[in-house]
Amino acid sequence: MDNLSATEVRGLRVTRGGREVLSGIDAQIRAGRITGLLGPSGSGKSTLIRAIVGVQRISAGSVTVLGHPAGAAVLRTQVGYAGQTAAVYPDLSVAENLRYFAAVRGDDPAEVQRVIDLVGLGGREKQLASRLSGGQLSRVSLAVALLGRSRLIVLDEPTVGLDPVLRAELWELFHRLAGQGVSLLVSSHAMDEAERCDELMLLREGRLLFHDTLARLLERTGEPDAERGFISLVGNMEVAA
């Protein structure tokens, strides 16, 4: 593995509930870039993400993250993760949630305020997570993933349910992080977010349809935007099949 790739996935197969959910994924996620993981609902985005952060049992293949097998003990402070549901404690305040996760990671306590401010929740430190709006809650969860300056940050649909202004602000934040050398993997099924990513991975029914830049997708399909490019790719696959 060269030091340009933050994650290397080889022949990854995952079976969940008796069905093959990922059928042989090969991919390299490049360091210091934002890789967008796109695909329809049920295509396996969350499963792939879970495999990369090392909580998904896999049936074949390998996942290597920052040079170590996914889930290795050394990675546990270097990989930040926010799953698709806001995995925080509803009966704790915003600050208590972050203080706990920071303590578990062994981070500097000053990290707590830094990440609260990063996600725009300054002033709500004492509010119970259960009393936050949906978008605020998902930002608490995002803040946990930003703790301690991880080298790889993996976010499963972090912008769902946010207004356009807030979404733009978060994407700015992601770009700032990438500028500092952090690698990001961000899933979404909002195709308009494809434009904000450095690279795209298009997943469909457990297979990787495409993995390159948006420009290459448009060039290859002759379509004007990611959404139509994706539909055109799927159409070509079906014609070929």
Partner 1 sequence: MSGARTWATARRVLQQLGHDRRTVALLVLFPSVLMVLLRYVLDQPERFDRTGPALIGIFPFTIMFLVTSVVTLRERRDGTLERLMTMPLGRLDFLLGYALAFGLTALLQVGVVVLVTVAGLGLEVGGSVGLLVLVAALDALLGTALGLFTSAFARSEFQAVQFMPLVVMPQVFLCGLFVPREAMTPVLEAVSNVFPLSYAVEAVAAIAAGTDQNLVRDLGIVAAAALLALGLGAVTLRRKTA
Ligand X SMILES: Nc1ncnc2c1ncn2[C@@H]1O[C@H](COP(=O)(O)OP(=O)(O)OP(=O)(O)O)[C@@H](O)[C@H]1O
Residue 56: contacted member of Mg ion, partner 1, ligand X, none (CB under 5 to 8 Å, by partner type) = partner 1
What burial letters (b/e) apply to 171-188, b meaning 16+ CB within 10 Å? beebeebbeeebbbbbbb
Binding-site size for partner 1 (CB under 8 A) equals: 35
Which one of the spans 44-52, 67-75, 127-135, 213-221 is the region binding ligand X (CB under 6 A)?
44-52
Interaction with partner 1 in 92-131: which residues (CB under 8 A)? Answer: 92-93, 96, 100-101, 103-106, 128
Interaction with ligand X in 173-192: which residues (CB under 6 A)? Answer: 189
Applying CB under 8 A, among 22, 79, 185, 203 the residue interacting with partner 1 is 79
Please report how many Cα atoms fall inside a 13 Å half-sphere around the Cα of residue 3, on the Cβ side.
Answer: 2
Interaction with Mg ion in 71-90: which residues (CB under 5 A)? Answer: 84
For the bound state, the minimum distance from the C-beta of residue 85 to partner 1, rounded and expressed in Å, comes to 5
Applying CB under 6 A, among 36, 44, 83, 229 the residue interacting with ligand X is 44
For the bound state, the minimum distance from the C-beta of residue 176 to ligand X, rounded and expressed in Å, comes to 26
Q: How far apart are the C-alpha atoms of 68 and 21, rounded to whole Å?
A: 24
Would you call 116 exposed, middle or buried from its count of C-beta atoms within 10 A (0-12, 13-18, 19+)? buried
State yes or no: residue 88 binds partner 1 (CB under 8 A): yes
Would you call 40 exposed, middle or buried from its count of C-beta atoms within 10 A (0-12, 13-18, 19+)? middle
- What does the block give as tokens for 208? 């990787």
| Angle at alpha carbon of residue 209, lines to 211 and 43, rounded to 5° | 110
CB of 47 closer than 8 Å to CB of 63: no
Binding site for ligand X (CB under 6 A): 16-17, 21, 39, 41-47, 84, 189
Binding site for Mg ion (CB under 5 A): 45-46, 84
